[in-house]
Amino acid sequence: MTSSSTSVSVPAITERSAHRRPRIFAVELLRLLAIVGIAVFHTFLLTFEQIAVNGPHALSTVMQAGAAPTFFAIISSTPLVVWLIAMLMFLGAWGNHVFFMISAFFLVPRLDERSHRKGFARDEWKLTALRIAKILTALAFYVVVLAVVNRWIVPIRAVGGLREVAVSLEFVWLYVLFVLLAPFIGWCIERCRKKWCVSLGVIGLVVIYGLNAYVAVSGRNFFDALSVLDWRKQMSAVTYFASYICAGALGCAWRRWYGGESSASSDVPDVPLWLTRRFWASALIALVAAAGCLVAVASFGGHYGFLTVLSFKSTSVISFLLAVCSLMCAACPGKRAKKRGAPDGKRGAKSLQGNDMESDEALSVVRSDNAKKPLWAGVKTFCHRAVTALASGILGFYIVQALTYYSWITLQSHFADPVAAHVANAFAVGGMSACAGWLVDWFAVEVVFSLAFVLVVCLIDRFVRQPFLRMVKLA
């Protein structure tokens, strides 16, 4: 984002100035990718569930019965298609983890740093109340708007009553709870820097995902029928809370190396390898490759039950690890710079950036002084601003996609079903080779619809909801 010759001064950390600081573009891009991932996941979710029900021998069963091959029978019996859709299923929980983690990664370290100040509890709970007021105002805004649409324009199933709103917006309510507990989390992390505390936290994550594996294996067939008070249902909230704490702890470690006052001392140690982008990028590539191999074994071996276990809701350890690696890859610099902004560390001056959810109105981008390429610099700045503007709609997107899920899935089917019918017709005439092109078209329609939905919602959020919050002094 900056050239080596550009100097950037970092103002003091205050809630008011947080939204004016430059932001890490890679983190903003990750936020936007999380939105897209959640949209793509929901677009293909019903298809994946149908594949799991049909099993690997759906097409041969239909053919033996003398019936016409159906679209779902065709893709259920095509391992490559099953593999691709199963890989996309990791995006749902991954996007949810990223949503919570980015907030914790930038918010909790600020609270950790302030926890020794006199009056910390009083001051931070006031700021926490303000953060929650922003979330609830955004929620109320969309509930009212969608209720009006539901009443006078087109029915929207999920806004028919308070119960539907409460259930559909479970992730938003969890986010409110996590923000409420953030000062306590920051206070605890500041006082738990011993190695045994880290070991205890790792053991806790292992236990949580061990329980998640049990839930995924034993309860996936009747999970949606469980009461909200059942511990297997509550494990979803526990898992995301663990992700929030984990990201907060990682953010504190990251901030201690990249967020302090600049120091030109030659005896400052190098940043650890695990706090570099290269380390996390390598881990991310290895994890994606391992996940791809596991899914390939299950897809081509016909073990569709195992596919559902691998990406089952929030219990997927693969989605959690993908989120950790993605966030750290986005936040960490590429080289092992000197600690705390030494001269060879280019990220030190940019480290106190406001990428947390509360500063989502910020659109500031660090200027480039590359005078030799003004056109490229302009394109780069435009891309930065566009990504940041769209990514700022992540909370609004969560609310809208949850409340309008059944409506936008119905609209998506309106575009995708005709293409799916062409797939079945082409297969009946010429087999798999004849319908391969239509399968590609079907995938393209599903993905383009997801992207269009994200674009429309984020633009509405950017130009309607956010100005409204500024008008009521909650921006």
Q: Express as a percent the part of the chain with pLDDT over 90.
A: 47
Question: Which positions ≥6 away from 203 have C-beta within 8 Å?
Answer: none
Q: Of 199, 183, 321, 327, nearest to 254 (Cα)?
A: 327
- What the block records as the tokens of 71 is 């679209």
Identify any residues that bridge with 270 across adjacent strands, giving them in sequence order.
338
- Asked if residue 228 has pLDDT above 80, the reply is no
Contact 59, 69 (CB under 8 A): yes
Whole-number pLDDT of residue 346:
43
pLDDT band, very low/low/confident/very high, at 459 (cuts 50, 70, 90): very high
pLDDT band at 121 (very low <50, low <70, confident <90, very high): confident
20-34, 70-84, 436-450: least confident range: 20-34
Distance from the Cα of residue 439 to its chain's centroid: 28
Q: Find the mean pLDDT for residues 342-346.
A: 40
pLDDT class of 357 with cuts at 50, 70, 90: low
pLDDT single digits (tens) 229-272: 788 888 999 999 999 999 999 999 898 887 643 333 344 457 78
Write out the DSSP string of 214-265: HHHHHHTTTGGGS-TTSHHHHHHHHHHHHHHHHHHHHHHHHHHHHSS-----
Global confidence as pTM? 0.86
- As a whole-number percent, the residues of the chain with pLDDT over 70 amount to 83
- Answer for the pair 250, 328: CB distance below 8 angstroms, yes or no: yes
Kindly state the average pLDDT of the residues 435-464: 94
Enter the DSSP assignment of 404. Answer: T
